[in-house]
Copies of this chain bind each other. A is one copy, B any other.
Amino acid sequence: MSTQTKWVYSFGDGHAEGRADMRNLLGGKGAGLAEMCMLGLPVPSGFTITTDVCTYFYAHDRLYPESLKGEVNNALAEVEKAVGCGFGDPANPLLLSVRSGARASMPGMMDTILNLGLNNATVEGLAKISQDARFAYDSYRRFIQMYSAVVLDISLHKFEDIIEDVKRARGFALDTEMTAHDWREVVTAYLQIVQKERGKAFPQDVHEQLWGAIGAVFGSWMNQRAITYRRLNDIPADWGTAVNVQAMVFGNKGEDCCTGVAFTRNPSTGENSFYGEYLVNAQGEDVVAGIRTPQHLTIKGKEENDSDLLAMEEVMPDVFKQLNDVRLKLESHYRDMQDIEFTVQHGKLYMLQTRTGKRTAMAALRIAVEMVKEGTIGKEEAIKRIEPSSLDQLLHPTLDPKAERQVIAKGLPASPGAASGIVVFTADEAEDMAGKGRKVILCRVETSPEDIHGMHAAQGIVTSRGGMTSHAAVVARGMGRACVAGAGELSMDYAKGEMRVKDIIVKAGEAITIDGATGEIMLGEVPSVQPELSGDFATLMQWADSVRTLKVRTNAETPLDARTAVKFGAEGIGLCRTEHMFFDTSRIIAMREMILAENTQGRRKALDKLLPMQQKDFEDLFTIMDGLPVTIRLLDPPLHEFLPKTKAEIEDVAKYAGVDVAQVERRAAMLHETNPMLGHRGCRLGISYPEISEMQAHAIFGAVIAMKKQGKTVLPEVMIPLVALKKELDILAKVVHDAADAMMKESGIKFDYMVGTMIELPRAALRAGGIAQTAEFFSFGTNDLTQTTFGLSRDDSASFLPDYYRTGIMALDPFVTIDQDGVGELIKIASERGRATREDLKLGICGEHGGDPASIRFCHKLGLNYVSCSPYRVPIARLAAAQAAIENDRDVQARLNAA
């Protein structure tokens, strides 16, 4: 980097070098502090070391830019001047806080050090100036404790033990009983611990303290919990954190002091009322520590929560009024609900932070809609304000927050929603019990396509193995079933019909409750509440729909899913996976008979049995979709997925098919594949066994004709999967066209339909120009396209992707958010080459990414016609599509006005 780079930005005293819009450089906290200074709000002086330093730090083996030291010293001198104290001055010491502050809020993930600048000399000065030796030594011991834990990596409990020892010796119960003398004794003991643990004394040089703290904060950007948090919240590792160094103010200097946090509106409900908590005579960390119960800011808050403790509004009415003015000023300045931190020192208010407040989805909707009505923001802004993924919270039942719960294990929050039911361990059992009207939770080590019927029958699914994109997770999200995946503590014992966590045994038939939004598994039935799609939701979605150009379809094959999706606003089916229709108990037998057949004739016989069932499925779907387009994908998975695995099942199948067990086993062995993902599946099945595709075409068009006879409109789009070569598509498109021609002729009824393909292999993307000669539409199968482009198995990557997040190779799971650089380029190439051949080529996406907001944005930019996602993600996709339009299109305002 050039030596011109400015690494440090000062603020305080009504001036600041930074601004709110320099958030990327200064972090959220730094930008907020600067902006508050500019607004004339009372902010303790300080400075921000930029995120660029963090980037430099990690790019240069944890070294700092050369000019940093000088800039810090200059900024520090300014703070000294503003505050009127000297850093390290025993007579009048300046104390500092050193805090992280990333572009996005990462609460509690990184390190903070308070009271920095205290040493054996300055502590005495502080005691003298504050005329409060107890406060001074308490501050010093807090500092040593924090610094030792964060910078020197000494376990906190060693320090806590000492306080306990002293309290025990004195017969004290609370810290507040400790005297100045006691704290001094603690400090002495603390300093000894540091000497013993680190072999050298606690740093008395305040500059050494400062640089130690700065280094620790930058270092904490790469601690494990920060990495995990970033991954879970899609925050790239290369953003880096800033470090904020600021003069200390103290809320713990007496009864005219306090510290608190507040939201400018209610973050749970969105109600426009001041909402927050404070503690008298306390430092910020005491609020967090939870030792004392915080008090409400307002009388309203106190009353609503039946609190006996006095509100700030009552205790310090003047300062409260000041604070409320700050609240209004910040809201009107930022035009959004703010989350603020403040400290009152001897009756004087100091603002320590302002940032956009986190809120529930419900609150977000209410705030956005109300701010539009108040005239604070426009509809565009309101649409942009809602995090699309957050809508998920509103669509599923949730646990009653007041209910008691006994959590026995935690897994991944794989599919949201709360569900209770009795434990079952097999899909058949799930179906049986559900048939008898029981609610069940299907518990498996992992699930496979054969479990689909059981997953459908269940209220929720638990697995002890697998990640967020495991079969169980993906299918459950698609079905809108609650799912907790990869709960590794659970050990399943199918034979005994039980599962264990430590010494707890849960037997089949016992009730459990799962929360798919948190990953918790609880004993017994915990009450839940049904979602209400409030008026604000409807209002905002209506605005969104008027703005977006990208259509939103759903991935669905069951009537339930289709109906759910339509309720959520789906504009068609983008992916009907016909194979799911074959796993049904009544059908899998015929399917297996087909697979076991030794020749075309035998296969045809079995297919003839499947034909009417499949046609009926399509009639049901067409009826529900009522004239909306329905994309039907021909059989995709390798045939071995349909074959039985257990001995008993194999015997069943042999009996039914009238062959011996050895033959079933032989066939299964023949069909075994080393890499089934790259095996005999997709259109390859149709090439080998065209009679399967033919049956499916007949079922589709049979259903179309049945609908037409009832006077209904149907728009079927037949999709050939896994095409790599144009000729594959040519051959199977001909099978479909021939079936359509024959059935039109036979029935005398004409109907429209399209034939297209999935683009899910790199070769297909590259050869899209030729493929579009035959295909009338492309649907990007981004799951498989991601697998092949990366050479990465979705089923196997969970074991090593954590290493990728840890080392910063990947920030986001490519199976959740499209890898725009690699997979994205192939989608772009395919779109361009396809449309160069066929100008009106319809383009859509039907992978899991179709429900991911970032991916939807990308699809909008590429000019796709639609995305298709699981039913419960339809509203999310609608909103994300609207946001994409707002970000990219010029005529959004006109669309809003026209709406």
Interface residues of A (CB under 8 A from B): 670, 673-680, 684, 687-688, 722, 724-725, 727-728, 731, 760-763, 766-767, 784, 787-793, 795-797, 799-800, 803-804, 807-810, 819, 821-823, 825-826
Contacts and interface: CB of A to CB of B under 8 A. Distances in A.
A687 B722 contact: no
20 contacts: A674-B676, A675-B675, A675-B795, A678-B787, A678-B796, A679-B793, A687-B800, A688-B800, A722-B791, A725-B809, A728-B809, A731-B807, A762-B822, A763-B790, A763-B791, A763-B819, A763-B823, A766-B821, A787-B791, A788-B788
Contacts of A767: 821-822
Given A674-B795, A675-B795, A678-B792, 6 more contacts: A674-B793, A675-B675, A676-B796, A763-B789, A788-B788, A788-B791
Contacts of A676: 674-675, 796
Nearest to A677: B675
A725 B788 contact: no
A792 B724 contact: yes
A796 B673 contact: yes
B793 A673 contact: yes
Contacts of A822: 724, 762-763, 766-767
Contacts of A725: 809-810
A433 to B, nearest CB: 29
A796 B670 CA distance: 10
A678 B810 contact: no
A846 to B, nearest CB: 16
A803 B687 contact: yes
Contacts of A823: 763
A844 B766 CA distance: 22
Contacts of A799: 670, 680
Given A767-B821, A791-B788, A809-B687, A800 B680 contact: yes
User: Closest 6 A-B residue pairs measured CB to CB?
Assistant: A678-B793, A763-B822, A675-B793, A762-B762, A674-B795, A761-B791
B804 A687 contact: yes
A793 B825 CA distance: 24
Contacts of A766: 789, 821-822, 825-826
Nearest to A786: B763
A810 B763 CA distance: 14
A825 B796 CA distance: 29
Nearest to A680: B800
Given A762-B788, A788-B788, A679 B796 contact: yes
A809 B766 CA distance: 17
A190 to B, nearest CB: 33
Nearest to A671: B799
Contacts of A784: 791
B675 A790 contact: no
A666 to B, nearest CB: 12
Contacts of A795: 673-675
A154 B392 CA distance: 70
A312 to B, nearest CB: 50
A804 B722 CA distance: 14
A641 to B, nearest CB: 11
A788 B727 CA distance: 19
Contacts of A807: 687, 727, 731
Among A731, A761, A784, residue most surrounded by chain B Cβ atoms (within 10 Å)? A761
Contacts of A825: 766
A766 B688 CA distance: 32
A760 B722 CA distance: 20
Contacts of A670: 799
Given A767-B822, A822-B763, A823-B763, A790 B724 contact: yes
Contacts of A788: 762, 788-789, 791
A679 to B, nearest CB: 4
Nearest to A795: B674
B791 A678 contact: yes
Contacts of A673: 793, 795-796
Among A675, A821, A826, residue most surrounded by chain B Cβ atoms (within 10 Å)? A675
Contacts of A803: 684, 687-688
A863 B540 CA distance: 57
Given A679-B793, A679-B796, A809 B727 contact: yes
Contacts of A792: 678, 724
Nearest to A730: B809
A825 B819 CA distance: 20
Nearest to A804: B687
Contacts of A819: 763
Nearest to A728: B809
A825 B702 CA distance: 42
Nearest to A808: B727
Contacts of A763: 789-791, 819, 822-823
A679 B792 CA distance: 6
Nearest to A799: B680
B674 A796 contact: yes
A731 B674 contact: no
Among A722, A790, A793, A796, residue most surrounded by chain B Cβ atoms (within 10 Å)? A796
Contact of A790 (B761, B796, B821): B761
Nearest to A670: B799
Contacts of A789: 724, 761-763, 766, 788
A787 B675 CA distance: 10
A555 B419 CA distance: 57
Contacts of A791: 677-678, 722, 724, 760-763, 784, 787-788
A533 to B, nearest CB: 39
